Amino acid sequence: MEFHFLGTGSGVPAIERNVSAMAIRFLQQKGTQWLFDCGEATQHQLLHSPITLTKIDRIFITHLHGDHIFGLPGLMGSRSFQGALSPLVIYGPKGLAEFIEASLAVSKTHLRYPYEVIELEEGFMFETEHLSVEALALNHVTPSFAFKLTEKDKPGTLDIKKLEAYNIPKGPHYQSLKEGKTITLEDGRTINGHEFVGPKKNGRVVVIAGDTRPTKEMIKFSREADILIHEATFRSDKADHAVQFGHSTTLEAASLAKEAKVKTLLLTHISSRYTGEEEAFLNEAKTIFENTHLAHDLMVYTLSS
């Protein structure tokens, strides 16, 4: 998995941080690409990344504030102009479909591909061949959601040396054995794949949260996640601002990561007031949770298998 941070600022665009957008590229799934939020100029940020607009087939909108959605109609139009014919599915809070329909209608934008808008409710979940996605309602000044991506468990490693010790010849049946199947060799021996495969590998878990005040529900939702991507709009000295406007501080995001026992915390949605203060901003979070990283525009974070 590659996480491409296209916009890591909050509220309005700034010179060093555009507004919210982040893409995931699934390298082992035929290059599947998903987009999370789509602030103004997201498609321009894509031009500086290896993400291909026509390959994005799912878009997740955490909430309907302008810094998370104003780039969506233009991006949808450009996807069509670039020749995409494959379907696009867009997930987000109630009202998202109305926003898209009005924007496309008023601008007379015709799409060559079909699209579907799925408006979220608490407990929403779906599965693909490789992973499941579930949504959690957050505590913002407007309906906002977090998304949890959970990979399906993978088979353990095939013990090649053990196979060779049993004089089991190489061939396509190795894949069947890795899948735990029982095969019959030409010499008549019956081989059970489970005897040659190591313990299964647990699927990785990634949680991506929209704008929110701290919530207890996020602790359970993020429990032992490999990566938690969370907003930190303010430092702790602006805690009152965070409460008023429905956001989290660096220390609150770090405390969540610590309590939920996640492996890595990536902070984003940073107020432009902290331009030039990134080191102090990050160090504040690290006083609570050491394995914290501060995202910046066009940063790529890779989660290895």
Residues 166 and 35 occupy one common structural domain:
no
pLDDT of residue 263 exceeding 80, the answer is yes
Domain that holds residue 167: 160-195
Tell me what the mean pLDDT of segment 175-188 comes to: 89
* pLDDT at residue number 204: 96
3-state SS class at 304 = coil
> Residue 145: what are its φ and ψ, rounded to 5°?
-130, 155
Q: Do residues 186 and 222 share a domain?
A: no
- Tell whether 166 and 221 lie within a shared domain: no
Taking the C-alpha atoms of residue 21 and residue 9, their distance in angstroms, rounded to an integer, is 9
DSSP string, 106-154: HTTPPPSS-EEEEE--TT-EEE-SSEEEEEEE--SSS--EEEEEEEPPB
Residue 207 and residue 133 share a domain: yes
Segment 211-237 shows an average pLDDT of 98
How much is the pLDDT for 112? Answer: 97
Residue 31: the pLDDT is 79
Q: What is the mean pLDDT of residues 111-135?
A: 95
| Number of folded domains that form the chain | 2
Examine the pLDDT at 305 and tell me if it is beyond 80.
no
Helix (H, G, I), strand (E, B) or coil at 12: coil
Helix, strand, coil share (%) of the chain residues, nearest 5:
30, 30, 45
Q: What is the pLDDT of residues 65-118, one digit of tens each?
A: 999 999 999 999 999 999 999 999 999 999 999 999 999 999 999 999 999 999
Alpha-carbon distance values, 1 to 26, 131, 149, 296, 303 (Å): 5, 12, 11, 18, 5
Active centre residues (catalytic): 67
Residues 190 and 205 in one domain: no
189 lies in the same domain as 215: no
Taking alpha carbons only, the member of 155, 189, 205, 200 closest to residue 175 is 155
The answer on 275 and 254 residing in a single domain is yes
Establish whether 187 is an annotated binding residue. Answer: no
Average pLDDT over residues 111-127: 96
Regarding whether 40 and 76 lie in a shared domain, the answer is yes
| Phi, psi angles (nearest 5°) of residue 115 | -135, 155
What CATH number is associated with residue 97?
3.60.15.10
The answer to whether 19 touches 11, Cβ cutoff 8 Å, is yes
Is 68 assigned to a binding site? Answer: yes
Same domain, 126 and 47: yes
Tell me the mean pLDDT in the region 208-214.
Answer: 98
Packing angle, helices 250-260 and 278-286, rounded to 10: 40
Question: Once rounded to an integer, what is the mean pLDDT over residues 188-216?
Answer: 93
Give this prediction's pTM.
0.91
Do 79 and 225 reside in the same domain of the chain? yes
Q: DSSP readout, 21-56?
A: EEEEEETTTTTEEEEEEE-TTHHHHHTTSS--GGGE
Please check if 269 is assigned to a binding site. Answer: yes
Segment 30-38 shows an average pLDDT of: 92
Q: Are 42 and 21 in contact (CB under 8 A)?
A: yes
The average pLDDT across 141-160 equals 93
- 184 and 223 together in one domain: no
140 carries a ligand binding annotation:
yes
pLDDT, tens only, 42-71: 999 999 999 999 999 999 999 999 999 999
Neighbours of 232 (CB within 10 A): 31
pLDDT tops 80 at residue 198: yes
pLDDT number for residue 103: 98
Q: Are residues 47 and 188 in the same domain?
A: no
